[in-house]
């Protein structure tokens, strides 16, 4: 059985083909992102901040001379089996079950096959790894078996916690399976290091899972400061063909109940009701999920949101733009008056960092990592989740006070500078070297 899907594409690197390197790598990392590929379009199924994290950390490690292989589930026959993503960095699409999109819970049934095929790939190229860096609970389960074979330490980052998602779930279908909770608890028991994005993330692992505090390192997520930067609003709007008089409010993220987009729609309806002269110039753009497709191909959440948009009379004001490439986001951020993140739970909130690096204030729910990422009253506002009335108040305040928007935008740019990927990678490499010394 083939352990990698093959393709006729030029970019395919055949298993067993010797890899040409300019010089011996400083170390090798097996980066595991089982359920989602770092090359995927953001805002679609299973794609979001974790994809950005894996991609940008791997790129920076590659620039530092580390060889990084990102192992992910093969979802499409149109993609090369092995893609050279950046200097010293490869994405390896590994067969496990159907070569198609597979839901996260279903994908757990194919982890043994995924693991065997990763081991076969490494054996075919005579590779050994210095560290296994796994992301999300599915990858953590794979990492345990790989450590046994390679004798390499495991660094685990969960990105979200099942226990926390269950605490904010509003419907039974939003709850995580017991197997996820049990797996997270087990992984926290055997991983050599666990990365928490914020002090609050760390405390939740201690309180909800009984994790060993000595194994947890707090390392925040990063932002690409060369991509996300201030662009003149007029220029950004011209690039997007947005009217110069439009007052754009922006949401960026996956379209799922946890993101609280319904709260944002209700808040916008309140703003319009209070200011009936604004709708001609006000616009809300939702980036993520599907665009204005036929009802049959939409997810249940997108159908719910479209119905709510019609119920609230916002069809001429709210546009669902679908997933957008990372390269277009700087223009959207810079064109917007504000970015709103009405989530019920976020472990960190990378969208907030991207917006602030672009000089745009953020209004976010006072939950999870957003309480750390957004400086309330300085780079934006924090409001209680599921309170459209309070969210509407802050939206109005930023729309009515351009000087406040500018001041918060400027403060956000300064705050975001400390989260550049170079600084974050320094912290990750310190952790790698500590484990290397301990194992040596």
Retrieve residue 63's tokens.
Answer: 């620039």
Q: What's the confidence (pLDDT) of residue 22?
A: 57
CA dihedral 159→162→163→168, nearest 10 degrees, is 90
Retrieve residue 45's tokens.
Answer: 């199924």
Q: What's the confidence (pLDDT) of residue 3?
A: 39
Q: What's the confidence (pLDDT) of residue 15?
A: 42
Per-residue pLDDT 10s for the chain (440 aa) are 333 433 333 333 434 444 445 578 889 999 999 999 998 766 555 667 899 999 999 999 999 999 999 999 999 888 789 999 999 999 999 999 999 989 889 999 999 999 999 999 999 999 999 999 999 999 999 999 999 999 999 999 999 999 999 999 988 888 999 999 999 999 999 999 999 999 999 999 999 999 999 999 999 999 999 999 999 999 999 999 998 888 999 999 989 999 999 999 999 999 999 999 887 889 999 998 765 444 544 578 999 999 999 999 999 999 999 988 888 999 999 999 999 999 999 999 999 999 999 999 999 999 999 999 999 999 999 999 999 999 999 999 999 999 999 999 999 999 999 999 999 999 999 999 999 888 76
Q: What is the DSSP letter of 279?
A: T
Q: What are phi and psi of 86, to 5 degrees?
A: -160, 175
Retrieve residue 240's tokens.
Answer: 């997007």
Q: What's the confidence (pLDDT) of residue 278?
A: 86
Percent helix, strand, coil in the chain, to 5, is 45, 15, 40
Q: What's the confidence (pLDDT) of residue 13?
A: 41
């Amino acid at each position: 059985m083939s352990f990698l899907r093959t393709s006729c594409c030029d970019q395919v690197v055949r298993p067993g083909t010797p890899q040409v390197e300019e010089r011996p790598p400083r170390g090798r990392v097996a980066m595991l992102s089982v359920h989602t590929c770092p090359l995927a379009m953001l805002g679609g199924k299973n794609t979001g901040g974790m994809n950005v994290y894996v991609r940008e950390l791997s790129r920076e490690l590659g620039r530092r001379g580390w060889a990084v292989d990102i192992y992910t589930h093969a979802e499409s026959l149109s993609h090369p089996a092995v893609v050279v993503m950046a200097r010293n960095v490869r994405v390896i699409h590994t067969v496990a079950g159907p070569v198609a999109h597979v839901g996260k819970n279903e994908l757990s049934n194919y982890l043994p096959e995924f693991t065997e095929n990763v081991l076969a790939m490494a054996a075919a190229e005579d590779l050994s790894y210095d560290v296994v860096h796994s992301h999300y609970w599915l990858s953590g389960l794979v990492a345990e078996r790989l450590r046994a074979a390679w004798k390499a330490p495991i660094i685990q980052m969960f990105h979200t916690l099942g226990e926390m998602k269950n605490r904010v779930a509003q419907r039974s279908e939003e709850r995580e399976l017991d197997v996820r909770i049990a797996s997270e608890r087990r992984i926290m028991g055997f991983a050599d290091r666990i990365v928490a994005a914020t002090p609050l993330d760390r405390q939740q692992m201690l309180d909800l899972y009984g994790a060993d505090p000595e194994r947890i390192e707090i390392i925040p997520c990063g932002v690409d400061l060369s991509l996300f930067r201030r662009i003149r609003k007029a220029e950004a709007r011209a690039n997007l063909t947005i009217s110069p008089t439009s007052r754009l409010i922006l949401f960026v993220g996956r379209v799922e109940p946890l993101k609280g987009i319904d709260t944002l729609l209700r808040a916008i309806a309140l703003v319009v009701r209070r200011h009936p002269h604004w709708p001609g110039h006000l616009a809300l753009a939702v980036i993520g999920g599907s665009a204005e497709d036929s009802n049959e191909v939409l997810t249940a959440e997108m159908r719910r949101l479209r119905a709510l948009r019609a119920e609230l009379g916002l069809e001429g004001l709210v546009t669902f733009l679908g997933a957008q490439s990372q390269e277009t986001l700087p223009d959207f951020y810079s064109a917007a008056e504000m970015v709103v993140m009405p989530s019920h739970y976020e472990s960190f909130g990378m969208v907030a960092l991207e917006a602030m690096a672009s000089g745009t204030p953020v209004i976010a729910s006072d939950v999870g990592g957003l309480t750390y990422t957004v400086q309330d009253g300085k780079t934006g506002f924090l409001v209680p989740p599921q309170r459209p009335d309070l969210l509407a108040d802050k939206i109005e305040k930023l729309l009515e006070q351009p000087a406040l928007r500018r001041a918060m935008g400027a403060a956000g740019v300064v705050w975001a500078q400390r989260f550049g990927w170079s600084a974050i990678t320094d912290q990750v490499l310190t952790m790698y070297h500590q484990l290397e010394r301990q194992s040596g």
